[in-house]
Amino acid sequence: MMGSRLLRRRVRTAVGGGGGGGGVGYELNVAALPVANRQVTDWTTHRARLTGTGLTRGIDRGVVFTDRITGARVLSLGSGQLDYSEAGPSFSASDVDGGCYVVWNTGSEWVVGSLTYDPTTPTITNIRTLVAQPGLDTAHAFSQNPATPYYLYVLTSSFVLQRVDVRTNTLASSGLFPKTLTAGLTGTSAPAWLTVSNNDTRFGYQRAQAESAGVWIVGTDTIVVHDIAWFEERAPYGFRFDEVHLSDSGRYMAVLGGIYFAEAAGAPRRSAYGPSPNQATIGTWSVLSGSVYQCTVTLGTGSGLRDVFRTTAGGATLLQVLAQRANGTTALAAGEWSVDAASGGTQVLRVRLTDGSNPTTFVAGFAALVSEPMCWWDVDTDRQSASVLPQGTQMTHVAWQGDVLHAANPGGNTGEMVKATPVPITADGQVVSAPTSYANTALTSVSLQHSCAMMVLAGRAADEQYIVGADLPPFSEATFGTWSVLSGSVYQVTASLAPYLRYLIGIRDVILINASREHLQTLTRRADGTTALAAGEWSVDAVSGTDQVLRVRLPDGTDPTGKVLAYPPRLNHFTVGAVRADGSDVRVVMEHHSYGWDANAYAEYPKSQIQRDGLWCATNSNHGIPGNRIDVLVAQLPRQARS
């Protein structure tokens, strides 16, 4: 698992942060966070506060500055490492004044310190080397028992679960602690994905390379554990379990699968990056009516089509998951498909692409294709469900809210959010609840990439809670053609936003970069169609198919080739955002300033972590300098008294 980070998106769940309550006097004042406007801010102020030169540029530990969007006070913890949202900083629950303990990796060791909430100058003090070192970046978690917010659980490299009292930085060895969790585990890889249920009654964990996973039930001192074969055998498709995350109650474990094509029964499981015997052979397309096309497809298994995708020419890259209509439907809306009943190994497939074009070379069909599927492990019945996903999509970036799972679904190409509630799994192993989607259009979608955590605001209804994660705009950068002179210092180019269908929205932001892709300036937009641009301005024509004509006049009037980047609207470029659990509200939490990644991209992706009380949020940043050192930034968020 850990060795192929660039090939997978990651599942995220709230780890660290206390269980709320417990005398905490404050919580996040959501109303004080600005609504996401999907516009990037100017970069100049942030660049000016960096110290050092070249790849040593950053912000020293203890420096406090004001976030330009939210006005929150941001404290730098200095150079560090934030590999996953669960990796640290992890926050304990707040004390009555809003302060808490924080644990993070400096890049060489794990340390613990005390955060003090102050209206103008938050501070980090009493920094000490953590007495027990996690075996991997995802192998620690704060107590979820309101009575013991100062306990940190650490799973060491030898799979010994230590309980640390961070007040004194000593081992709290009593009762069942320390607890060795190697019983029943197979494999040799490091510990990963330690998660804790409410009141610390259960602990979930796995080996990093998906060799085995288990749950320790504290009350009965029982360990339930399975190897990779158990997870794969229970799934109805090629699966390869990858990551596990325990629900708040501890009954259910969310199980993420690696990216695999489904195969015919008994066939070898193959990676999605290799051939798939269940892919349909598509015949010659003909017009059925209007923009609806049809053809005959052949599936060797005879099981019928279950997934149809828009692809790049020749099927190299999946661009869009098309929506299935009932068998026999001929009146299709844009982006839909239907089939007639299978006849032997063939079916008649009908498709209407989003732009109404001919599907030839741009459509792929499969008997079943599940990318990073999600299923439940019901620990109490020790059974596994089928996937909770619509076929052909992927569910990543996970946050539990009680026993409701929230996740981003980027495989749908709109970055929609989905949520699903598990039910006790019966002997047939197939009982799940259907997921509910929200924020599922291109204009309202939210992409919380590589991190997702749940704030638990006491006294709030379920849909009033917020999911938090980081936005990654470089995954939707426009692809430019060749720049040409329009007039004077105004240049133009054809720009494509085909990935994730962002061309449906169009370009929203254009920024100036240097040769190292460092963000220098946010350029100013003029009305669509404007050709007379002042220095530092840009405009576009209306979207035509997957392309737009972009015009730019740089501040110095030079050719823009290699000097600008363009993006569609997202949450708020280069920020961490909070999405209300019913999808009705999107707020900006803080800027992460991390983009422009090079070969060290995975370490430079922003991964955010919110304290469950909502008073503190952390993210990592390369400060917009590819290959730069990684700093850890902690925002002290606006607070209000608990009611």
pLDDT tens, residue by residue, 240-278 = 677 888 999 999 998 876 544 333 333 333 333 233 445
**The predicted structure's pLDDT at residue 407:** 73
Q: Which long-range contacts (CB under 8 A, 24 or more apart) does 265-268 make?
A: none
Alpha-carbon torsion angle 30, 608, 575, 621, nearest 10: 140
Beta 524-525 vs 537-540: how paired, if at all?
parallel
**The predicted structure's pLDDT at residue 560:** 98
Per-residue confidence band for 66, with pLDDT thresholds at 50, 70 and 90? very high
Q: What pLDDT, in 10s, does the model give residues 164-221?
A: 999 999 999 999 999 999 999 999 999 999 999 999 999 999 998 889 999 999 999 9
Closest CA to 613 of 127, 111, 30: 30
> Which has more confidence, 121 or 256?
121
Closest CA to 592 of 578, 616, 573: 573
**The predicted structure's pLDDT at residue 87:** 52
For 425, residues 6+ apart whose C-beta sits below 8 A from its C-beta are: 376, 378, 381, 383, 384, 385, 431, 432
**The predicted structure's pLDDT at residue 432:** 55
Query: At CA 534, angle to CA 529 and CA 536, rounded to 5?
Result: 100
> Which has more confidence, 364 or 483?
483
> Which has more confidence, 607 or 164?
164
Cβ pair 594, 622 in contact under 8 A: yes
What is the separation of C-alpha 467 from the centre of its chain, rounded to a whole number of angstroms? Answer: 11
Cβ pair 539, 529 in contact under 8 A: yes
Supply the mean pLDDT for the chain: 81
Per-residue confidence band for 332, with pLDDT thresholds at 50, 70 and 90? very high
Per-residue confidence band for 528, with pLDDT thresholds at 50, 70 and 90? very high
Closest CA to 215 of 379, 14, 405, 384: 379
| Cis amide linkage into residue 277, ω under 30° from 0 | no
Beta pairing partners, 399: 406
**The predicted structure's pLDDT at residue 196:** 95
The mean per-residue pLDDT over the stretch 93-117 comes to 92
**The predicted structure's pLDDT at residue 588:** 92
The residue behind tokens 């397309």 is: 285
Residue 367 scores a pLDDT above 80: no
Going by the DSSP 8-state scheme, the letter that residue 46 receives in this structure is H
Alpha-carbon torsion angle 594, 595, 598, 599, nearest 10: 60
**The predicted structure's pLDDT at residue 6:** 23
**The predicted structure's pLDDT at residue 558:** 97
Per-residue confidence band for 222, with pLDDT thresholds at 50, 70 and 90? very high
Residue 529 phi, psi (nearest 5): 90, -10
Other CB atoms within 10 Å distance of the CB of residue 213: 25
> Which has more confidence, 559 or 477?
559
**The predicted structure's pLDDT at residue 219:** 97
> Which has more confidence, 430 or 50?
50
Cβ pair 166, 152 in contact under 8 A: yes
Beta pairing partners, 482: none
Residue 533 scores a pLDDT above 50: yes
Q: What pLDDT, in 10s, does the model give residues 8-46?
A: 222 223 333 333 344 468 888 999 999 888 778 788 888
Cβ pair 542, 507 in contact under 8 A: no
Other CB atoms within 10 Å distance of the CB of residue 212: 22
> Which has more confidence, 173 or 427?
173
Per-residue confidence band for 88, with pLDDT thresholds at 50, 70 and 90? low
Residue 228 scores a pLDDT above 80: yes
Least confident range from 277-286, 402-411, 417-426, 544-553: namely 402-411
Cβ pair 89, 78 in contact under 8 A: no
Per-residue confidence band for 409, with pLDDT thresholds at 50, 70 and 90? low
Counted residue by residue, the chain has a size of 643
Q: Specify the amino acid at residue 524.
A: T
Cβ pair 398, 254 in contact under 8 A: yes
Closest CA to 63 of 627, 621, 626, 603: 621
For 568, residues 6+ apart whose C-beta sits below 8 A from its C-beta are: 476, 478, 497, 502, 503, 505, 506, 507, 508
**The predicted structure's pLDDT at residue 76:** 96
**Per-residue tokens: 480:** 């430019």
Residue 572 scores a pLDDT above 60: yes
For 528, residues 6+ apart whose C-beta sits below 8 A from its C-beta are: 539, 540, 541, 542
Cβ pair 340, 250 in contact under 8 A: no
